[in-house]
Structure 1
Amino acid sequence: MRIRPLLGFIAAALMLPAYAQQGGADSAAARDALKKQEGDTDQSTLLKQTLTAVDKQYSLIKRGTIAANYELNYSYVGQERINADISTGQLTLFEINNDSAHQITNTISVDYGVRDNLTASVSLPLVSKYSENPAFDGFSHSLGDIGIGARFQPVEAKRGRPNLTVTSNLRLPTGKSPFKVDANQNLATGSGVPSLTAGVNVNHIVDPVALFGSLNFTYSGAAKDLSQIRGTRVLTRVEPGPSIGFGLGFAYALSYGISTSISIQESISRGTKLYFRDGGSAKTKTQTSGMLNLGIGYRVSPKTTLNITAGIGLTNDSPDFTLGISMPLSF
């Protein structure tokens, strides 16, 4: 049976970063402040390891078991911004600014089997970012947003029928908030708001192929009591809109030690409401982000599989390129 070694790899193929929730409605400066940070771990925390550790009854880890996993993720975002001034009726200013951002996230996550069909998890990300743009050119290192999650399998897994897992994840705003840092002196490493994600994952094994899909909904809390200067205005409150995401793909076992996968993920986020000290407000546009992921898994040992996944952004609201490496940790 060749499907067993690729189950751990399927979960890594589903590890996709969460994408920008905010767009531009008031000014370019406001867009930059409200853009959700590339590399956030919403989808990664929600979907990872949902198909691992095959058991006779359940596909989650067994009761009383502790499992740890290490992930290294890299993402790149680049864009060209054209500044032109035609307010006088003539072109008096024209320049092209190249903005680029690199982010490396090291994440250690720990799972605990509360029951055979219920697993609790916590993830600790360490974020390093480098940005090169007219506002700031430099590095930033900090703790990212901590995630606390749970996965529940309501029905026993049986061969020949789809396997359903219910998931939830609470993200705490422990990283540097984009609404509190000085954009000219530092970089944000977190989202700045708490969020709760709930969803379902489904997989179906047709040996040697595993089909999988996911659907989730995210609600974010508001960022209050702000006093951030953005251009000529002072931002005092931010209310992110809800988002919905879905993904699907398949994994194929080439041999007992090598597996490949292809998956696609998309998320749609409603506009964010912005409130300013002068009494004014604005709302950003709805954003759609999508990623195409190609992966390979190498079975290093009977209990260890090294997973490598490369992602290509399909929309303007997605990172241009992502690269992820994950593997279980043994104690």
Structure 2
Amino acid sequence: MTIRTLPVCLAATLLLLALPAPAQESPEAKPASADAARDALAKKEGEGEQTALLKQTLSAVDKQYSLIRSQQFQFGYDLNYTYIGQEKIISDLSAGNITLFEIENTSSHTVTNTFSADYGVLDNLTANLTLPVLSKYSEARGAKGLSNSIGDIGLGVRWQPIPARRDRPNLTLTGNLRLPSGRSPYKVIAGSGQATGSGVAAFSLGLNVNRIVDPVALFGSLNVTASLPAKNLWQVNNTRILTRVAPGASIGFGLGFAYALSYGISTTLSFQEAISAGSKLTFADGKTAKTLMQTSGMLNLGLGYRVSPKTTVNLSVGVGLTADSPNLSLDLNLPLAF
């Protein structure tokens, strides 16, 4: 047992015994207090701290929870792998009877390398740029393909309207613009590769809340996203030609906590869900159709390892909870501060 774990009263006694006795006591001298002993036995500068680790972990779990100081840069690298597997039942009705019944298996593997850069415009305002590079492989009955391309570039800002304080929740407002720089799914020709982007520009607004209560940090988020329509299309879809797509709005929320096991190890548990309204499809013959609402839910488990005062490596595993979610997601995050 180290001296830092002793009761305050005993630590104060040991501290007084260790100090040299004065030659003559001044009438104005005050006896050593428990607070003085606590200050003397406090951690020295440079030692690890759970609060700092939790802040770095929050930054890795969702970069929207952290801000950096004015005129400073922070770079990051994120490696993500997702797997989606589906089974489709194919049937053909003839005269009211099923004449064909077959189960088709489809699978998709996506590896995403995301490079990000943050710049502190002000102490409470951070600008962000993300550039994803994707490798996507998909396989279905009679067709398979591999694509390597950039994804949708993202521009964002994070603003903290109220100064952060330890004794109250910290609020962060976010705004993000997604540019359709990736390969659009509405322009892909069958058998010529896979889409690496959404095909439409989108803007989202969000609110994030976090509070650190050593050794636990609680966090939650809420966001809404609206997308612009994809126009001037000419994609053959079976016997129809798709000319316009208007994606529906979506709302997402998440919550979780991070727990510091030690000065160098932390764990996280979080849940994220997104609900998207159906998209409106317009075809060359003037007819329209609307897709169904989609709900995606993920449960994420993470582990953070602090390799240096400025770098914490975070590894997380996500499991899909709904039919519209990826079956499996692996994520490795490496923030680098300069």
Return the TM-score normalized by structure 2.
0.84
- Matching residue within 43, 47, 50 for 2:64: 50
Q: How far apart are residue 302 of structure 1 and its match? A: 1.1
Does 2:323 align with 1:325? no
Larger Rg: 2
Partner of 2:51: 3
Which among 99, 104, 115 is matched to residue 108 of structure 1?
Answer: 115
Quote the offset at 1:94 in angstroms. 2.1
Task: State the distance in 2 between where 1:81 and 1:222 align.
Answer: 28
List aligned pairs for 1:210-225, cutoff 5 A: 210-225=217-232
Deviation at 1:323, TM superposition (A): 0.6
Distance across 1 between alignment mates of 2:102 and 2:145:
22
- Match among 144, 151, 155 for residue 137 of structure 1: 144
Shift of 1:274: 0.4
* Correspondence 1:73 to 2:80: yes
Shift of 1:7: 1.8
Structure 1 vs Structure 2 CA RMSD: 1.2
2:263 is the counterpart of 1:256? yes
Q: Secondary structure at the match of 1:198?
A: strand
Residue by residue, what CA displacement relative to the aligned partner does 1:236-287 show, whole Å, maximum 9, x if unpaired? 0000010000000000000001000100011111111000000100111111
Distance 1:50 1:194 in 2: 20
Partners of 1:143 and 1:157 lie apart in 2 by: 36
Query: Counterpart in 1 of 2:216?
Result: 209
Aligned to 1:82: 89
What CA distance in whole angstroms lies between the structure 1 residues aligned with 2:64 and 2:57?
A: 10
Residue in 2 that maps onto 1:198: 205
Structure 1 SS opposite 2:192: coil
Select 1:290's aligned residue among 288, 297, 302: 297
How much does 1:95 deviate?
A: 1.7
5+ residue gaps, structure 1: 14-47, 53-59
Moved more, 148-157 or 86-95: 86-95
Residue by residue over 1:185-237, the C-alpha shift from the partner in whole angstroms, topping out at 9 and shown as x without a partner, is 21100000000011110001111100000000000000000000000000000
> Within 1, Cα distance between the matches of 2:202 and 2:149?
19
Q: Name the amino acid aligned to 2:213.
A: V
Query: Which residue identity is paired with 1:2?
Result: Q
For residue 96 of structure 1, report the CA deviation from its aligned partner: 1.5
Aligned AA (2:332) = I
Higher mean C-alpha displacement, 268-277 vs 127-136: 127-136
CA contact (8 A) 2:310 2:337 kept: no
**2:246 aligns to what?**
239
Q: How many residues align?
A: 290
- 1:138 Cα deviation from its structure 2 partner: 2.2
Distance 1:114 1:136 in 2: 48
2:176 aligns with 169
Q: Given residue 77 of structure 2, which amino acid in structure 1 is its aligned partner?
A: Y
Shift of 1:330: 5.5
Q: Is residue 136–residue 186 contact of structure 1 (8 Å, CA) maintained in 2?
A: no
Percent identical among aligned pairs is: 59
Distance in 2, Cα, partners of 1:330 & 1:61: 9
Q: Secondary structure of 2:164's partner?
A: coil
Contact 1:136/1:185 (8 A) holds in 2: no
Superposed displacement of residue 135, structure 1: 5.6
- Please give the alpha-carbon distance, in whole angstroms, between the structure 2 residues aligned to 1:177 and 1:86: 33
The answer as to whether partners of 1:6 and 1:297 remain within 8 angstroms in 2 is no
Q: Distance in 2 between matches of 1:11 and 1:281?
A: 43
CA distance in structure 2 between the partners assigned to 1:135 and 1:197 by the alignment: 38
User: One-letter code of the match for 2:217?
Assistant: A
Find the aligned partners of 1:304 and 1:313 in 2 and give their Cα distance: 29
Amino acid at match of 2:286: G
